[in-house]
Amino acid sequence: MIDRDPKFEIQYLISLVIAIVGSATAPVIQNLIDPTIASVLILIIMLHILIYTVAYTLKNASSFQLELVTKLNDASQWTLGIVSLLFLFYVGTIVTQFLWNIFIQPHLGALILFPFLTLTEFGTIFVLTLANIPTEGLFVYGIPLVIIIGLIFYIVSPLIEKVRTLRNIEITLYPDDTRVYNNFRDGNEIRVKIDNNTGENERFDIEFTVPEQVKYKKIGENEIREETLTVENEVVEDGGNYLEFFNLKYTGEERETGVATVEVSHEYGTVTREIDLILVPN
């Protein structure tokens, strides 16, 4: 389930409602809008708010995760997507209606007569065909629809697939903060874990960085390091994990704070996690 910010989502929906109502009442563009699309959009927004409110209320009513909450949350994700696409279509029809009124309609006669005057046979077929087609409707509604379909197939669908893959990759860094002493024994060990549940083997690049005057070593190894540890093209099988433990040592003489950083890179994105360090001298 995708983590969602209720405050941001409500602000986003309120912004859409303001934009729709504002455009419907603004004299400048009032004649460019399709009231049917605006009405349908408002109704779907209301439906989405209803579903999301019920899901959010039930989710916070009990510590148990109800199956109904999961279904309602999934449904609200679909309605939110429909709202966004329909709003894009709504804005697109306003733009194309404006273009039609200003640039296309005044010159439509010339556009029809040009092929008729140059190529008689072809021109006749062209004019007769065009006369039987609702040209304005195709232009105003067809162009935004084609653009949205293109966005769905070439941008949105691949993006959703990438998000679905990244959601099934879990990166765990433990602990959130720790003390680092002047030996490897006293401090807490740092654990880096990557779980792969994507259904396929995945490759990762991993970088582990510590502050100056901090040394570290992998548990089970004797090599002491201070430079950034880089692991490239680490293959984690489906259902498997990458697991590494580190012990740290501070070599400075003053008490300080610092940050250990783990950066995990996948072909679809990069995640950076940090551990706060309290550096304790002798």
Structural domains in the chain plus CATH codes: 6-167 (no CATH), 170-279 (2.60.40.10)
For residue 106, the model assigns a pLDDT of: 64
CA distances from 110 to 105, 127, 282 (A): 10, 11, 89
Helix axes 6-25, 35-61, angle to 10 degrees: 160
Pairing relationship of beta strands 177-180 and 169-174 according to DSSP bridges? unpaired
For residue 34, the model assigns a pLDDT of: 87
For residue 5, the model assigns a pLDDT of: 79
Reported pTM: 0.63
> Which parts of the chain register pLDDT below 50?
1, 112, 116-117, 133
Sign of CA dihedral 68, 74, 78, 81: positive
For residue 187, the model assigns a pLDDT of: 85
How far is Cα 142 from Cα 184, in angstroms, rounded to an integer?
68
Give 164's strand partners: none
For residue 159, the model assigns a pLDDT of: 85
How far is Cα 141 from Cα 28, in angstroms, rounded to an integer?
20
For residue 107, the model assigns a pLDDT of: 58
For residue 59, the model assigns a pLDDT of: 82
Instruction: Provide the residue type at 63 as one letter.
Output: S
For residue 117, the model assigns a pLDDT of: 47
Q: What are phi and psi of 251, to 5 degrees?
A: -110, 5
For residue 2, the model assigns a pLDDT of: 53
For residue 111, the model assigns a pLDDT of: 52
